[in-house]
Amino acid sequence: MSSPRKLTPQEEARLAQVRANFQERRRVSESLEGIGTRIGVYSGKGGVGKTTVATNLAVTLAAQNKDVALFDCDIDCPNVTRVLRISESPVQNGEKLVPPARFGVKVMSMAFFQENEDEAIVWRGPMIHNAINQFLHSTEWGDPDYMIVDLPPGTSDAPLTVMQTLNLDGFVIVTTPHELAVLDAKRSINMIKKMNLNVYGVVENLSGGVFGTGGGKALAEEMDLPFLGATDMRADYMNSQKPAALESDDVAAEYASIAAALDIQIEAGKSK
């Protein structure tokens, strides 16, 4: 009986990488196993209000006595901490980081680890991948009912890494009514569908005024997706001390309606 063939150095290296990837996925899975529903808030274009929707949706759910975590995965331009006005940093607890909370929402973001808020984070794909994985398996998330994930915009490496790593239950697509934003939102929906992932529906942000209205609803109808609701362009968002859903009754009503529509889609997804 012949002895097993000795692996080449290249084969040994590939096998070691496979083992490392498996261990990394296992650690991430264990860290996230207590989370109820993982919701990605996503857009094909930056500047459509993805972070605004993610933060206001998170605080709306928290105000409904839900346990909510918010994961800012926009590694290049993390803005969640600025919107929520979080001054505390994560606390080390053994090998885990305990995320700070604001308005009832637990938050983890790359912004906590920047020396200066206005510094540029110039990273290539592998570094972004490693950072996201490090956040996921080193954070003590607890057992939240919801994890809202603020994804990077676009359809390239950073959002792809998040989608492949987090095993999200579904996505909320954010667009403005503007033609170009709708086009890019359609591209992001097609990316999600190519990966056989679920889209909960579309939110039209910054509705009315110079952007017009109806683009988000028309997109939902074209792509055969639920339309979760619209948020009007309001001066209420100019108050930077709190998310607008906690300051304005009108904005609170809009997000309560979106949260209710989203809940219907989540329950429908569980029954499939």
- What percent of the chain lies above the pLDDT cut of 70? 91
Range scoring the smallest mean pLDDT among 50-54, 66-70, 81-85, 128-132? 128-132
Q: Is residue 1 part of a domain?
A: no
Number of domains forming the structure of the chain:
1
Q: Is residue 21 part of a domain?
A: no
Distance (Å) of CA 49 to CA 23, 56, 117: 36, 11, 19
Q: Is residue 10 part of a domain?
A: no
Q: Is residue 17 part of a domain?
A: no
CA gap 68, 150 in Å, rounded: 13
Which range has highest mean pLDDT (53-67, 93-107, 144-158, 257-271)? 53-67
Q: Tell me, what's the pLDDT at 249? A: 95
Enter the DSSP assignment of 42: E
Give yes or no for residue 46 having a pLDDT over 70.
yes
Q: Is residue 4 part of a domain?
A: no
Q: How confident is the model at residue 21 (pLDDT cuts 50, 70, 90)?
A: low
Which range has highest mean pLDDT (108-117, 124-133, 189-198, 252-261)? 252-261
Among residues 28, 24, 31, 25, the alpha carbon closest in space to that of 142 is found at 31
Q: Tell me, what's the pLDDT at 111? A: 87
Beta-sheet pairing, 68-72 with 105-109: parallel
For 114, the domain range is 36-270
Q: Is residue 204 part of a domain?
A: yes
Q: Is residue 169 part of a domain?
A: yes
Q: Is residue 3 part of a domain?
A: no
Give yes or no for residue 246 having a pLDDT over 70.
yes
Residue 260's contacts (CB-CB under 8 Å, 6 or more residues apart) are none
Give yes or no for residue 269 having a pLDDT over 70.
yes
Task: Find the CATH number of the domain harbouring 95.
Answer: 3.40.50.300
What is the helix (H) or strand (E) element at residue 56, kind and residue range? helix 50-63
Range scoring the smallest mean pLDDT among 17-21, 40-44, 225-229, 251-255? 17-21
* Amino acid at site 256: A
